[in-house]
Structure 1
């Protein structure tokens, strides 16, 4: 199962729901880190051996994805507060099926989830 590092663009409510579902997730803000570059986020995720959970499409680019040791989960659609429980359940379900690895890219869209291995 993947351990997640939630980017600062992930709402606190979604992180709380993930924790309720038993997901090992840490918010970037809980590490007293704010306003950092994408590269700095990658460095923190690699150091903590966590998969990045983000809404930032920059992490889907080969140049940035290639630096990530434990993969990226990219939420590719805008969701409302009411949709957060469904989204949290979908994230919990998919991460239970995956192992962290370089090049792992999970793209979560409203209707489906795509898993890519870029290595």
Structure 2
């Protein structure tokens, strides 16, 4: 399962879902929770965090979270459709 951080555009989340990728949206379900809470949520069972926030990589390593993976998206807004 992928956990889409609050900063992931809904268009990306919808494309993932249309591609049959199980995607949980923080924006839709748990808006306002902390990054640490997202990391905790991503552990049981292990999930992938999809984010535009570079701090997640640092946090995962700082808290020694071996069960959590992070995909960091970096793109120009005009490339959104290609993502």
| TM-score category (smaller protein) | 0.7 to 0.9
Q: Which has the higher contact order (CA 8 A, sep 6+)?
A: 2
User: Do the aligned residues in 2 keep the contact of 1:7 with 1:28 (CA within 8 Å)?
Assistant: yes
**SS of 2:43 mapped into structure 1:** helix
The unaligned stretches of length 5 or more in structure 1 are 88-119
User: Do the aligned residues in 1 keep the contact of 2:5 with 2:50 (CA within 8 Å)?
Assistant: yes
The unaligned stretches of length 5 or more in structure 2 are none
Instruction: Name the structure 1 match of 2:36.
Output: 39
Matches within 5 A, 1:31-70: 31=29, 33-61=30-58, 62-64=61-63, 66-67=64-65, 69-70=67-68
Mapped partners of 1:49, 1:40: distance in 2: 14
User: Do the aligned residues in 1 keep the contact of 2:39 with 2:68 (CA within 8 Å)?
Assistant: no
- RMSD (Å) for aligned C-alpha atoms: 1.8
Instruction: Report deviation, 1:68.
Output: 5.5
TM-score, reference length from structure 2: 0.80
Mapped partners of 2:28, 2:45: distance in 1: 13
Mapped partners of 1:44, 1:68: distance in 2: 13
